[in-house]
Amino acid sequence: MAAPSIDQPDFRALLVTPYGFQNQGVRLLAAELRRAGFDARVLFFKAWVNNNVRPPTARELALFDAHVAETRPALIGFGFGSPYLRIVTELTARVRANSDAFVIWGGVHPTISPEDGIDAADAVCVGEGEQPLLELAGALAAGRSPDDIANLWVRRNGRITRNALRPLIQNLDALAYDRLFDVPLAWIERGRLAAGDPLADSAVYRVFASRGCPFHCAFCYNSQYRAIYHGLGAYHRVRGVESLLGELETARRRLPRGRRIRFDDDSFIFPRSWIDEFVARYPGRVGLPFDLLLNPEAYDPEALRLLRDAGLCHIQAGVQSASPEELPRDYDRCGSNEHVLALARTARSLGVEITFDLILDNPLASAADKDATLDLLLELPRPFNLFLYSLTPFPKSELATKLLAAGVISENDIEGRATKSFRQFRLSFDYPRPAEETFYAALISLTSKRFIPRGLIRWLARRPVLRRSPGPLKLLARIANLVKLIGIAVRMARRGELSRFHLREYVTLRGRLVQ
């Protein structure tokens, strides 16, 4: 195959993201390229479906080939996370067979494990990609060597150049958020290729008001990013309120079915002056209900009251475990149950719906650790929801290192080689697990069902026969969960939030999620 073409007069870039219709990062990269005068487009290759991620069909691969041939890009970028490593490797090989385009990988997995991509791609972007991608496109379009571009590993003529990182972007408002809706989009799913935004009928618009996270959790990529970028600027950075509101106003105009805003920041932590400005301007400029993610350690009751008055309707709080041993030992967190209880009580008093994230299936957790989590949940004021996640190790994470050192997993169990998240991202009762794990998963799931008396849950928890043979308990939990899911669906339908997109993501006969 000939060397990648780098002097096309009508330079075009195609950015591809697998199983990520909601990937805002790749849209922003394309917006940056278009603002600089390049013809940049985005292809969303297949949709993510909770616990039912399926490999592409032969027809979908053929559609990908045809789209590349029709688009004729000089530059193709793949942005992806670890579970999709093998799929992106296959797509890259197909590009090689049918195109002379320069191929670059970026995103979470290439940043953490660039060595996995440099033999397949021409370049790998480590860390933030906006400026490196602009410089790469400029170099290729002008026929210059891209070998010295910061943040890039570049492979040319059998030689790999590993360039140093540049400082983190501190002024997020300088990025092309105002061009997000100017990017030509296409998507491949269910054996068809279509032009347009796959989120056009979504009732929820997801937005980032910041980058980075101030916490250091062993299971999260932020801990690795923080180490990679040590000494290169503040890691947690905040957009200005005006930049944020401008994006949301455009989203409201362009997505008329929108009913809610979701702040996808890893934890909604902002200076009080930012909060004051936001709550003063958001209702008049945007006015939609919104939800956010929050670490209970960042709990501020007065800020929550102000946010509620501005439209806050739902909080997703990361608890993970209530065990004072498991949290620091396995997850490098220093949370306290007192903060969780205070947050739950405040949310209830404000009339704000709350959901608690928990990690189950931890092979390092003892029965005492699990009992501690169950005890806390039985103390929380109802109603509340649960998002239960099955522990999944990711490459080079501190958690994966601990699990490997304990001998409870092998390298083949880490995402990238493994694809557990395809079948068990959110916990479901159809996934095989030991009897004790099933016992606790069923009990924990029952705590969020206010039609199940707490006394009954405590009684069930004391039955040794159910610990050994949890089948009947699991059946009760599945029935109770189905009842709750129906209620949630009815409420979402009444609010106009139950879009076809949301149904495709979460409603599957297998792997039904637990709330």
Cα→Cα distances 38→29, 32, 106, 174, 176, Å: 11, 9, 19, 18, 13
pLDDT band at 175 (very low <50, low <70, confident <90, very high): very high
- Domain 199-506 = CATH 3.50.50.60: no
> Could you write out the DSSP letters of every residue in 304-364?
HHHHHHHTEEEEEEEEE---TTHHHHHH-----HHHHHHHHHHHHHHT-EEEEEEEE--TT
Q: Are 44 and 188 in contact, with CB atoms under 8 Å apart?
A: yes
3 pLDDT higher than 50? no
Rounded to the nearest integer, the mean pLDDT of the chain is 93
The HSE-up count of residue 363 (CA atoms within 13 Å, CB side) is 16
Cα→Cα distances 97→68, 93, 374, Å: 11, 6, 54
What's this model's pTM, rounded to 2 decimal places?
0.93
pLDDT digits (tens, 9 = 90+) for 119-162: 999 999 999 999 999 999 999 999 999 999 999 999 998 899 99
The HSE-up count of residue 2 (CA atoms within 13 Å, CB side) is 8
pLDDT digits (tens, 9 = 90+) for 264-307: 999 999 999 999 999 999 999 999 999 999 999 999 999 999 99
Mean pLDDT of 154-175: 96
Name the residue with higher pLDDT: 514 or 469.
Answer: 469
> Could you write out the DSSP letters of every residue in 452-472?
S-HHHHHHHHT-HHHHH--HH
3-state secondary structure 196-233: CCCCCCCCEEEECCEECCCCCCCCCHHHHHHHHCCCCC
Residue whose C-alpha is closest to residue 447's, from 351, 364, 390, 373: 373
Q: Per-residue b/e over 81-118, b at no fewer than 16 CB within 10 Å?
A: bbbbbebbbebbeebbeebbbbbbbbbbbbbbbbebbb
What residues does each domain of the chain span? 12-181, 199-506
Q: Which residues pair with 118 in a beta bridge?
A: none
How far apart CA 103 and CA 117 sit, in angstroms, is 10
**Out of 1-5, 86-90, 248-252, which region has the weakest mean confidence (pLDDT)?**
1-5
Residue whose C-alpha is closest to residue 228's, from 88, 128, 96: 128
Q: Residue 157: is it exposed, middle or buried by C-beta count within 10 angstroms (0-12/13-18/19+)?
A: exposed
Q: Residue 137: is it exposed, middle or buried by C-beta count within 10 angstroms (0-12/13-18/19+)?
A: buried
pLDDT band at 165 (very low <50, low <70, confident <90, very high): very high
Share of the chain above pLDDT 70, in %: 95
Residue whose C-alpha is closest to residue 133's, from 116, 110, 160: 110
Tokens of 429: 């009762």
pLDDT digits (tens, 9 = 90+) for 45-90: 999 998 999 999 999 999 999 999 999 999 999 999 999 999 999 9
Cα→Cα distances 367→77, 357, 363, 436, Å: 46, 19, 11, 8
Cα→Cα distances 322→224, 377, 468, 501, Å: 24, 9, 24, 34
SS3 for 16? strand
pLDDT digits (tens, 9 = 90+) for 314-363: 999 999 999 999 999 999 998 899 999 999 999 999 999 999 999 999 99
2 pLDDT higher than 50? no
pLDDT digits (tens, 9 = 90+) for 403-423: 999 999 999 999 999 999 999
Share of the chain above pLDDT 90, in %: 89
For 13, left (φ over 0), alpha (ψ -120 to 50), or beta? Answer: beta
Domain spanning 12-181, CATH architecture: 3-Layer(aba) Sandwich (3.40)
pLDDT band at 1 (very low <50, low <70, confident <90, very high): very low
Tokens of 509: 């006969």
